[in-house]
Amino acid sequence: MGLLQNILPPKERMNRIFTWGDAFVLLLITSLLYGGVKIAVNAPAEIQGPSIALNPRVLPWYALLSLGRMAAAYLLSLLFTLIYGRAAAYNKRLEKVLLPLLDVLQSVPILSFLPVVLLSLSAILPQRIAAEIASIVLIFTSQAWNMTFGWYQSLTTIPKELREASAIFRLNNWLRFRQLELPFGMISLIWNSMMSWAGGWFFVMAAEIFTVGDRDFRLPGLGAYLRQASIEGNFTAIGWGLIALVTVIIALDQLIWRPLLAWSDRFKLEMVESDQPPTSWFYDLINDSELISRIKEFCAKLTDRLDLYLVYKYPMKGSFLETEFKTSWGSWVLFGIGVALVGYGGLLTFHLLVNLPLVEWWGILLGVLATLLRVFSSLAIALAWTIPVGVAIGTNRRVAAVIQPIVQIAASIPATAIFPVFLLLVINWIGGLNIAAIFLMLMGTQWYLLFNIIAGASAIPQDLKYTAALLGLKKWERWRTLILPALFPYIITGMITASGGAWNASIVAEYIDFGGKTLTTTGLGATIAKATALGNYSLLFAATLSMVFTVVLINRLVWRRLYQVAEEKYRLE
State the average pLDDT for the chain: 76
Per-residue pLDDT tens over the stretch 20-76: 556 655 666 666 656 655 554 444 444 445 677 888 888 888 888 899 999 999 999
Summarize the confidence of residues 403-425 as an average pLDDT.
Answer: 71
Average pLDDT on 516-541 reads 79
Separation in Å, CA 80 to CA 25, 116, 151, 388, 494: 18, 22, 11, 32, 19
Reduced to 3 states (helix: H, G, I; strand: E, B; else coil), residue 517 is: strand
pLDDT tens digits for range 260-285: 888 888 777 655 555 566 777 788 87
Identify the pLDDT of residue 339: 64
Residue that wins the pLDDT comparison between 12 and 132: 132
C-alpha 147/C-alpha 165 separation (Å) is 27
Of all residues in the chain, what percent carry a pLDDT higher than 90?
6
pLDDT by residue (tens digit) across 281-340?
788 877 777 777 777 788 888 888 887 877 777 766 544 444 444 555 555 666 666 667
Burial class (CB in 10 A: 0-12, 13-18, 19+), 298: exposed
Tell me the C-alpha distance between 438 and 374, whole Å: 6
Residues of the chain with pLDDT > 70: what percent? Answer: 73
- Res 79 pLDDT > 90: yes
Cα torsion angle, 80, 83, 86, 87, sign: negative
pLDDT for residue 522: 85
> How many angstroms separate the first and last alpha carbons of the chain?
14
